[in-house]
């Protein structure tokens, strides 16, 4: 690479070394710490997977109990934070609320010495409180009182409880838990890079995760699963899918939920999510969206398969969240709840051998201009 050569979007530029996750885009393979993602959805749960991502190994029984107990115990908010949320406009997007409240958490939990205990406390606190902020905001904006998490429930059971106010079906909660595993980490991307850049300044983890949330909130990163649901609703019926896709492709418009910069075959997360969606449909008895999605997949692949464009992680996840009763505008927030584990893993890994990010620019402006006084302009 020539000195000061411009690489738009840093495409293909290695920004860091990492042992956290691995992708083989040609084979459609994703691993966390060397373990295939599909094995983790089968054998693990979200909190155990989060621990492994962050600390590099699967926890033993004592470590896992401490980890689970600490997170469940911290699934509550200080009343002052709740009061701040109550004063936000009802129209505030959930991602804006998450970003603001996570940053504000840093004002309540500080440690000038930045001890090892502080790091553990901060990591568990962020994982614990992210879904509480999300669920509280959903209830507040429609005039309902927040529901407190219950210590006897699992992490994912509590998410559904705090959303609906009802004790969730255990199998449905396990399906949500698998979705969280699938969204927990995915190597380098815009929000992970934001995590590293802000973390490299030695900003505290609350500001680091707040920056990652800001990055994820953009429509070119998070939010694609929201657009998938809007597309399926617009199509309306399975029989309309063929004509809809043909028109989109004729107009050279993007099919939402298709294509990935890395995967040139099926995204392994999409394969698993399709299976999970099918099971949710069986439990709920609501198949319309699933049937529309399958028709969209069928007719899209007739044209896109030869280009290496396949369904991605967003295509089926939105359908699952919709059937679980999660409002569409909260889909990206659910993504953030899961991805917090990956962000914290990268933050912790990078700071072990930290170097401040200081890129250069390619200047394209004028040189040697003279100041013009007002009467000369």
Catalytic residue numbers? 260, 314
Question: CA–CA separation, 207 vs 201, rounded Å?
Answer: 11
DSSP letters of 69-118? HHHHHT----HHHHHHHHTS-TT--HHHHHHHHHHHHHHHS--TT--HHH
Q: How far apart are CA 163 and CA 348, in angstroms?
A: 30
CB 208 within 8 A of CB 306: no
What are the two backbone dihedrals, phi and then psi, of residue 301, each rounded to the nearest 5 degrees? -70, -25
Query: Which two structure tokens, joined as six digits, stand for 116?
Result: 């090892």
User: Who's near 276: CB < 8 A, 6+ residues apart?
Assistant: 175, 178, 179, 316, 320
What residues are paired with 35 via a beta bridge? 32
Query: Can you say whether the dihedral through the CA atoms of 76, 78, 84, 86 is positive or negative?
Result: positive
Cβ neighbours for 48, distance < 8 A, ≥ 6 positions apart: 58, 59, 64
Burial of 35 (0-12, 13-18, 19+ CB in 10 A): middle
Nearest CA among 344, 314, 281 for reference residue 182: 314
> Which residue bears the tokens 């170097």?
355
Give the largest CA-CA distance in the chain: 77
Q: Specify whether the CB–CB gap between 140 and 97 falls below 8 A.
A: no
CB 223, CB 330: distance < 8 Å: no
Whole-number Å distance between alpha carbons of 116 and 10: 34
């Amino acid at each position: 690479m020539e000195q000061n050569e411009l690489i738009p979007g840093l495409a293909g530029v290695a920004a860091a070394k990492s042992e956290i996750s691995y992708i083989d885009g040609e084979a459609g393979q994703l691993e966390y710490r060397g373990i295939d993602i599909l094995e983790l959805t089968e054998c693990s749960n979200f909190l155990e997977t989060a621990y492994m991502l962050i600390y590099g190994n699967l926890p033993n029984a004592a470590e896992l109990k401490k980890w689970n107990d600490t997170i469940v115990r911290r699934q509550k908010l200080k009343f002052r934070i709740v009061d701040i949320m109550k004063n936000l406009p009802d129209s505030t997007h959930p991602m804006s609320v998450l970003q603001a409240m996570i940053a504000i958490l840093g004002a309540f939990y500080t440690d000038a010495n930045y001890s090892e205990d502080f790091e553990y406390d901060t990591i568990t606190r962020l994982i614990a409180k992210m879904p509480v902020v999300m669920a509280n905001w959903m209830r507040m904006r429609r005039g309902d009182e927040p529901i407190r998490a219950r210590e006897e429930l699992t992490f994912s059971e509590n998410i559904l409880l705090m959303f609906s106010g009802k004790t969730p079906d255990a199998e449905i909660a396990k399906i949500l838990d698998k979705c969280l595993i699938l969204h927990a980490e995915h190597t380098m991307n815009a929000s992970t890079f934001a995590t590293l850049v802000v973390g490299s300044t030695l900003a505290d983890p609350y500001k680091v995760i707040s920056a990652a949330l800001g990055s994820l909130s953009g429509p070119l990163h998070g939010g694609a699963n929201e657009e998938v649901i809007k597309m399926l609703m617009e199509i309306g019926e399975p029989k309309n899918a063929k004509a809809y896709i043909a028109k989109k492709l004729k107009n050279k418009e993007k099919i939402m939920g298709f294509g990935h910069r890395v995967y040139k075959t099926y995204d392994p997360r999409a394969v698993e999510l399709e299976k999970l969606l099918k099971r949710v449909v069986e439990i709920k008895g609501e198949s319309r969206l699933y049937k529309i999605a399958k028709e969209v997949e069928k007719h899209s692949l007739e044209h896109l398969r030869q280009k290496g464009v396949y369904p991605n992680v967003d295509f089926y996840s939105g359908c699952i969240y919709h059937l679980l009763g999660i409002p569409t505008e909260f889909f990206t927030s659910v993504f953030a709840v899961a991805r917090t584990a990956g962000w914290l893993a990268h933050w912790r890994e990078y700071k072990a051998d930290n170097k401040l990010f200081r890129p250069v620019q390619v200047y394209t402006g004028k040189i040697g201009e003279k100041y013009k006084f007002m009467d000369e302009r």
